[in-house]
Amino acid sequence: MIHVVLSTVSLAVARLECWLESMRTPGGYGGPVVHWWQDCLAFCGAGLDWRYEGIIAGYLTLFERTGQEAWLEKARRAGQDLLRGQRPDGHYQCSCFELNPGIGGTPHEAAADIGLLLLARVLRKQRRDDWEPYLRAAERNLRDFYLRRLWSESEQRFYDGVQQPSFVPNKSATLIEALCLVADLTGNDEWLHRYVRPTANAILEHQVTSPGNRLDGAIAQNSLGRQTIHKYFPYYNARCVPGLVQAYDHLGDTRYVEAALKAMEFVARHRDPLGRFPQVLYANGTVNRFPQWIAACGDILRAADLLRPYGLDFPAEPTLQWMLNAQLPNGAFAVASGFASQISQVEPGCTPDARDLMPVVGWNDKIFRYLAGKVAELPTDVDGPEPFETACSWRGREALFAEDPHCLRILARGRERGDLYFWHKGAAWATVSPMGSA
């Protein structure tokens, strides 16, 4: 399955884990966020969002594969971040990722719930007596936010916002995972039939079924009311897979796993020879290639692993090698390639956009989770994040990207020296210079 030397993967995981430690802030894992839709560069405090899904799952996987208690303790520490950051109304503080410091982010709160529920499951299996608070926190969020505020009984689906009748398949698939985990831990199947089944059926309604069509198997990004928005993101198609597989496992409806297979066949058809994926395909034939996610592709490879027992042919290479080549000297993985080409869609030049290099925990957790499942042990002689500097572009100007264990800086180049962007790790806010603003 993997032709990459496993010692290379082990070292990559060890270096990434050291970098994750450098991103700890009061309250949890912090840092800037860049995204396809919007960036969150000023607020860098702890974000209790989908980053916790991959962080907790990754640490639990390392614990299960190595037997080392230290990894379980780090999973517990992350779980405690969420427990301490849960509000009386069930929300988690700063749970909107690129919209932080807002609350009520989807799929972010459901993804955080998955992390808590996975932790509860492992602790219960290990006969530890502290597993129930994690289950109860996740249940409270699911009940008080998703079930009471986002569920539409008349439409039989979860909306993406309290006042917006939008259904987003990949976000709802994440919610399916959380609901199935609750059913496993409580033995109560009520939510499976009342919420999981209609939600999975709604995802299937958004899938293209047109053999021979370039979009066959693709799942649309969302719908507004009953109007489907015909945008198809390979990454978010992969994010639909775990929920559909869980729906199949718990309800036995083969349509769900068949839909997951078709979705990943769509993703595979659009992978290029270097292992990269386009950002979005449109029904009119237009394709936006850039930015191409790198760290997030851990989720794509994880989805492929889940479907391999059902017959999916989706080799991890060349995507795995492309990702490993993108590990930075600090141990983090580059977020993407081609942020500077997001509007023009022209082939990016040799100098990366600063956003490509941004140290975003909420993308790196995805490759952390995936790679953790490929190692049996980690080297113990890995130093902390290595400081590095490299040329970049920042909002159309030449700049220098620099990160060390204590801070992240983007500096102007040429006659006008100085920080365009500065974040001291641990601080809730970064400083963006007026001359570095858009």
Which residues make beta-bridge pairs with 337? 292
Contact 47, 100 (CB under 8 A): yes
- Can you tell me the distance from the alpha carbon of 237 to that of 405, in angstroms, rounded to the nearest whole number? 35
Contact 207, 217 (CB under 8 A): yes
Render pLDDT for 368-392 as a digit per residue (tens, 0 to 9): 999 999 999 999 888 889 999 999 9
Nearest Cα to Cα of residue 297 among 330, 322, 265: 322
**Single-letter amino acid, residue 421:** Y
For 286-319, give one letter per residue: b (16+ CB within 10 A) or e: eebbbbbbbbbbbbbbbbbbbbeeeebebebebb
Question: What HEC string does 49-112 produce?
Answer: CCHHHHHHHHHHHHHHHHCCHHHHHHHHHHHHHHHHCECCCCCECCCCHHHCCCCCCCCHHHHH
Enumerate residues 6+ apart whose C-beta is below 8 A from 329: 386, 387, 388
**317: which 2 tokens?**
């290479």
Render pLDDT for 122-146 as a digit per residue (tens, 0 to 9): 999 999 999 999 999 999 999 999 9
- Sheet of strand 287-288, all strands in order from the earlier edge strand to the far edge: 231-232, 280-282, 287-288
> Is the pTM higher than 0.95?
yes
How large is the average pLDDT for residues 155-174?
A: 95
3-state secondary structure of 28: strand
Query: Is the pLDDT assigned to residue 91 strictly greater than 50?
Result: yes
Q: What is the pLDDT of residue 3?
A: 54
**192: which 2 tokens?**
């499976």
- Give CATH for domain 6-433: 1.50.10.10
Say how many residues make up the chain.
438
Neighbours of 350 (CB within 10 A): 5
**109: which 2 tokens?**
């709160």
CA distances from 128 to 29, 133, 184 (A): 25, 12, 17
- Can you tell me the distance from the alpha carbon of 195 to that of 152, in angstroms, rounded to the nearest whole number? 10
Render pLDDT for 318-332 as a digit per residue (tens, 0 to 9): 999 999 999 999 999
Query: Is the pLDDT assigned to residue 2 strictly greater than 50?
Result: no
Contact 82, 115 (CB under 8 A): yes
Contact 247, 197 (CB under 8 A): yes
Q: What is the pLDDT of residue 6?
A: 73
Nearest Cα to Cα of residue 288 among 298, 277, 297: 277
How large is the average pLDDT for residues 262-289?
A: 97
Which H/E stretch holds residue 390? Answer: strand 388-394
Query: Is the pLDDT assigned to residue 305 strictly greater than 60?
Result: yes
How large is the average pLDDT for residues 112-125?
A: 98
Nearest Cα to Cα of residue 276 among 260, 303, 296, 261: 296
**383: which 2 tokens?**
């130093």
DSSP 400: E
Considering the chain, what is the average pLDDT of its residues? 95
